[in-house]
């Protein structure tokens, strides 16, 4: 029992001696500071490269299909509504006309002619409406399963994912661009959308604040000015237009739903991203 506690305290100590000299003195388990950690404090604060990324979402166009319980409940609601309701004006009229027709049929059996006839009954009107509805041909809810098209999976929220060259390799990521001096992070995100997806695309950015951050270290051997990269994600809603990847940094693009992301992305990247994307 005592061993894990000690280890815990030790790690806490290690952390403390890295950052705070005062705290180091207050902890009196081990009097001696660790020489190993002292050497790391000598290194400089890591330099981060700032990058803006666009999390472009296409909101669902078509209502989602009801699952089992939803369909059941919808059905129940409909019957309840029917049961609690009173007859409408149209239904009352229909009922009256039916009664009249029955009466007339009876009278004709006995050979009595009645002059009263209804020109257009409620049933006729209903049939007319039905015919009109049949004539109208709505667009299909089914769609082509083309991952490059914005008009796929109409009942889901889609995200724009691009194959972008980062370092030496190409990765499936949200389109991103390094921040340059003199602009805000959001402005660089907007610039990123323009440069990577073409001018046709029309999107609406949601707020000035980034909705998430992803940090990764750059390999040491590259000898770069930065030690790592901080990617800030800005959310935007797709309004109109298609993606036209023109730049050589981006070779391909896809519109994916949240569930499909993990098949393409780096697991660590995917974990970070899926935290701030809602279904």
Residues that bind other proteins (CB under 8 A): 48, 50, 59-64, 69, 72-73, 76, 82-83, 85-87, 92, 138-141, 143, 151, 154-155, 179, 184-186, 204-213, 215, 230, 232-233, 237, 275-276, 278-279
Closest residue by Cα to residue 120 from 109, 129, 107: 129
Query: What is the distance between the alpha carbons of residues 47 and 230, in angstroms, rounded to a whole number?
Result: 10
CB of residue 168 to other proteins, shortest distance in Å: 25
- Decide whether 126 or 183 has the Cβ nearer to other proteins: 183
Sorted by sequence, the CB contacts under 8 Å of residue 147 that are 6+ apart come out as 254, 255, 256
Closest residue by Cα to residue 232 from 181, 202, 272: 272
CB of residue 66 to other proteins, shortest distance in Å: 12
- Decide whether 30 or 87 has the Cβ nearer to other proteins: 87
How many residues are present in the chain?
Answer: 279
Strand partners, 255: 160
- Decide whether 18 or 208 has the Cβ nearer to other proteins: 208
CB of residue 110 to other proteins, shortest distance in Å: 28
CB of residue 232 to other proteins, shortest distance in Å: 6
- Decide whether 250 or 265 has the Cβ nearer to other proteins: 265
Query: What is the distance between the alpha carbons of residues 93 and 84, in angstroms, rounded to a whole number?
Result: 20
Query: What is the distance between the alpha carbons of residues 216 and 223, in angstroms, rounded to a whole number?
Result: 16
Query: What is the distance between the alpha carbons of residues 186 and 61, in angstroms, rounded to a whole number?
Result: 27
Question: CA torsion sign, 151 to 153 to 158 to 159?
Answer: negative
Cβ–Cβ < 8 Å for 54, 250: no
CB of residue 20 to other proteins, shortest distance in Å: 18
Cβ–Cβ < 8 Å for 143, 153: yes
- Decide whether 164 or 188 has the Cβ nearer to other proteins: 188
- Decide whether 172 or 214 has the Cβ nearer to other proteins: 214
CB of residue 248 to other proteins, shortest distance in Å: 28
């Amino acid at each position: 029992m005592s061993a894990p506690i000690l280890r815990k305290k030790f790690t806490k100590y290690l952390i403390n001696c890295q950052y705070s000299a005062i705290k180091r003195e207050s902890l009196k388990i081990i009097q001696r500071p660790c020489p190993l950690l002292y050497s790391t404090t000598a290194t400089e604060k890591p330099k981060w490269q700032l990058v803006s990324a666009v999390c472009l979402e296409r909101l669902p166009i078509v209502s989602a299909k009801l699952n089992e319980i939803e369909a059941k409940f919808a059905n129940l609601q409909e019957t309840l509504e029917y049961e609690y309701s009173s007859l409408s004006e149209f239904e009352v009229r229909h009922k009256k006309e039916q009664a009249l027709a029955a009466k007339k049929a009876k009278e004709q059996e006995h050979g009595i002619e009645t002059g009263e006839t209804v020109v257009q009954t409620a049933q006729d009107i209903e049939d007319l409406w039905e015919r009109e509805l049949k004539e109208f041909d709505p667009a299909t809810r089914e769609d082509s399963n083309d991952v490059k098209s914005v008009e796929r999976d109409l009942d889901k929220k889609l995200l724009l994912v691009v194959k972008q060259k980062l370092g030496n390799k190409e990765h499936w990521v949200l389109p991103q661009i390094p921040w340059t001096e003199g602009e805000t992070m959001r402005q660089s995100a907007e610039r990123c959308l323009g440069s990577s997806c073409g001018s046709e695309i029309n999107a609406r950015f949601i707020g000035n604040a980034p909705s998430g951050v992803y940090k990764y270290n750059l390999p040491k051997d590259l000898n770069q000015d930065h030690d790592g990269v901080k990617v800030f994600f800005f959310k935007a809603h797709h309004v109109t237009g298609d993606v036209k990847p023109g730049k050589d940094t981006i070779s391909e693009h896809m519109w994916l739903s949240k569930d499909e992301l993990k098949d393409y992305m780096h697991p660590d990247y995917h974990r970070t991203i899926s935290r701030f994307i809602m279904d």
